[in-house]
Chains A and B, each alone.
Chain A
Amino acid sequence: MQTIFSIAVDALAYGMVLFVISIGLSVTMGLMRVVNLAHGAFAMIGGYIASYAARDLGLGYGFAVLIAVFGTILIAIPVERLLYRRIYGAPELTQVLMTIGITFCIIGITNFVFGPTLKTIPLPAELQGSVDLGFRSIATQRLFAIVCGLAVALALWYLVERTSFGIKLRAAVDDAAMAAALGVKTEIVYAVSFAIAVGLAAFGGVVGAELLPVEPYYALRYMVTFLVVVSVGGAGSIPGALLACLLLGGIDTAGRYLMPEFGEFFFYLAVIAIVCIFPRGLAGRAK
């Protein structure tokens, strides 16, 4: 019984970290219809900025997170205006080629600027160490990641479903020409949602850094994981992504505990099964 609880707690923590990192990609792919393979690269930039702010400038963790999110958005805005704007609505292949190219450029630049070694983001005293749950202990940072995941999920759901910006965004996605004719400034809507997606990537990169350490090849190393989460959850669906993360986190964690020698067999088996039954993901919308 204790083992089951223990696995459940680990699965929840892992799933939420996955969620925080991947949800930005779900937004770009589902709402903006851009296959953004450079998502991990933006997460990595966030991690680097936070690491630089906290380690080299000695700023507090909260400040470092804020600087990381806004710094990454600042970097991303010119990239959006110059490069991404050209590929909205373009065929998937064009998008994939363009964004993988951006990824390689970012990898090269970070490798040159920050060097190939691992970078850590020092945690504040409150997030270090572990909390005793009674039947086991869990790292405080993991609890923090769980809370962040829930907060992000709620805030995004509210933004997309309950605000006028969300309505405009959904309108622009479904029929850009009609939305524009009705007075929605689609360019601005797209730019803002791109900024939100990038900011979420950076946030995820920082919060998830304990699990996925920041180094130049981050963007490529975890690209498959991010894409799997989005395709299983259904692109653009916040509850879908949340469900997918918890499900995949659970399967992965249980598999690793019970039969580590099978590696990621169960993880990918589950992915194949889900994608077979729900080709658009768990909560994907028909086109």
Chain B
Amino acid sequence: MAATTQNDSQLSAVPSYEQEQAQARFDAIIGDDSRIEPRDWMPEPYRKTLTRQVSQHAHSEIIGMQPEANWITRAPSLKRKAILIAKVQDEAGHGLYLYSAAETLGTSRDELNDQLLTGRAKYSSIFNYPARTWADMGAIGWLVDGAAIANQVPLCRASYGPYGRAMVRICKEESFHQRQGFEILLSLSRGTEAQKKMAQDAINRFYEPSLMMFGPPDDQSPNSKQSMAWKIKRFSNDDLRQRFVGMIAEQVKVLGLTLPDPELRFDEETGKWLHKDLNWDEFMAVIKGGGPMNSQRMERRRAAHREGAWVREAAAAYANKQAQSEVA
């Protein structure tokens, strides 16, 4: 048995006729802008890249529930409280579709969850910043969900079918999330001096981290090129970033507030928006676990998992007993 395995792995260095055919079919589907589906053959690096990306996205939805859940109990009106609960609940739903999409690539939800809890998988580093005031609910909706949408709308066209389709639904809901965030800031900006100050402070804190959500600059993003060739990704990090900053530069005027970026301007020559240099050292430090909230976010998730263990065990035991009694 062992000999055969070794033999196979050595042989795979030279693709078989079937493998070459499969690769050609895959390339044709990508070239034709059609979709790869779960039963189609796909190269292992494509599967691996997608599994990583889709599961990171799912983890981000789940961890991203925490900063907002932090304000549910203190929401300043019952209507805002209801909207916030609905939003956080949508995020749990997004996590569920994305884990399902990731599972079609052959990794189970338990394994993906384990990767998150043991720190082997990442989530969007913006959630490692604290939601310190109510205005952060506005800034997170407007800037963080806004950046997420700018990133995710092109993913509706991702070459992997289940991911693209999950993204269509998610983007529709995210669009409402962004608007509710903007509406929170709009109310604050038309409110008392203290409310206006709260809104400006939240924008000041979330501006830079939200721009960094698009990932490192193009010349420092080694995986982007392959993802674009596979049509998972359709636009470069910098391109999406400048597109987003242009949108918020206009929207902030409606709020009568400002973005903390004196260098922000539209460059007529290139037709692109320019912004200040971002603090990528901080970004890397937060990704590596050094953000203000990394430890708390992870511990909260681990605690929920640990404290729920007896419930999951009991549910499994009950399901087994039911299955046995049906057989008998």
> Do the two shown chains form a genuine complex with each other?
no
